[in-house]
C-alpha cells in the first residue's frame, strides 16, 4: 500500500537555496541566520513552506492541500498552511514536534 504524503516540518529556503527545517518558520529563520545563511525575506511564496514525509519541499498552499487530505488538520486560514495549524492548541493542532521525526500525533 502506498504511503500517504504528510507534512513533517516547516521549512524555508535561503538565497543560496539551502533548506532549513523546524517546528515553525521562525525556528527555520533562526537556524539559517545562526550559521550565516541569508534567508529570503522578500516573502515570496515559493521560499516558505514545508517538507513532507517524502522529502519534498512544498509551498504553503500545497502544504494546506496535503495536510487537509491527510487529515493532519481540519481547516486552514486563507488557503495556506501555517505550522501552528498542526501544533498550536489555539489552532486545534493535534501534533507535537521532534527535530528528527517531525510532526507526530500527540498522545
Say what percent of the chain tops pLDDT 90. 72
**Could you give the C-alpha distances from 46 to 14, 29, 89, 92, 107, in angstroms and in order?**
11, 15, 27, 26, 33
pLDDT in tens, 4-30: 999 999 999 998 989 999 999 999 999
Confidence of residue 33 (pLDDT cuts 50, 70, 90): very high
How far is C-alpha 94 from the geometric centre of its chain's CA atoms? Answer: 15
Q: Are 103 and 86 in contact (CB under 8 A)?
A: yes
pLDDT at residue 100, as a whole number: 93
- Residue 42 pLDDT exceeds 80: no
Amino acid at each position: 500500500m502506498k504511503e500517504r504524503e504528510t507534512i513533517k516540518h516547516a521549512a524555508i529556503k535561503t538565497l543560496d537555496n539551502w533548506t532549513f527545517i523546524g517546528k515553525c518558520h521562525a525556528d527555520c529563520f533562526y537556524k539559517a541566520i545562526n550559521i550565516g545563511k541569508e534567508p529570503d525575506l522578500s516573502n515570496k511564496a515559493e521560499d516558505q513552506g514545508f517538507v513532507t514525509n517524502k522529502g519534498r519541499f512544498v509551498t504553503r498552499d500545497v502544504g494546506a492541500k496535503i495536510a487537509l487530505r491527510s487529515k493532519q488538520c481540519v481547516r486552514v486560514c486563507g488557503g495556506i498552511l501555517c505550522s501552528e495549524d498542526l501544533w498550536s492548541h489555539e489552532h486545534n493542532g493535534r501534533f507535537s514536534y521532534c527535530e528528527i521525526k517531525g510532526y507526530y500525533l500527540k498522545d
